[in-house]
């Protein structure tokens, strides 16, 4: 079973997601932007579709690929606790550094 972490671990797939975040793209546009073969892009798009990160809209002969941000929201929710952890640590470090700088200034003024 492939997880969203497995899917986004690949730099090419992350680049595709970055491009689709800006606007919809056809396979040909992605081939040009990524400078990899059409079968290579198609394989990456299939994996992204299977993970639910991408959906396809067909217009006549053209298939447009769009970003589906919903699975990324789930990932973001999971990451939120880690973000809070680091934010708390940075806040404590900032407070410590401010205390240290205040003490340094007081020592310099003596």
Q: What is the pTM of this model?
A: 0.73
Rg (CA), the chain: 22
Q: What is the mean pLDDT of the segment spanning 47-74?
A: 94
**Res 30 pLDDT > 80:** yes
Q: Which residues of 3-22 are buried (b: 16+ CB within 10 A; e: fewer)?
A: eeeebbeeeebeebbebbee
**Res 54 pLDDT > 70:** yes
pLDDT the model gives residue 1: 65
């Amino acid at each position: 079973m492939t997880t969203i972490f497995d899917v986004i671990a690949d730099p090419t797939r992350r680049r595709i997601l970055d491009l689709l975040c800006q606007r919809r793209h056809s396979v040909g546009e992605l081939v040009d932007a990524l400078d990899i073969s059409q079968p290579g892009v198609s394989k990456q798009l299939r994996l992204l579709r299977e993970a639910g990160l991408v959906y396809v809209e067909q217009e006549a002969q053209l298939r447009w690929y769009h970003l589906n941000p919903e699975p990324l929201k789930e990932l973001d929710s999971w990451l939120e606790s880690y973000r809070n952890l680091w934010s708390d640590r940075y806040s404590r470090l900032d407070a410590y550094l401010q205390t240290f700088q205040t003490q340094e200034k007081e020592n310099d003024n003596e």
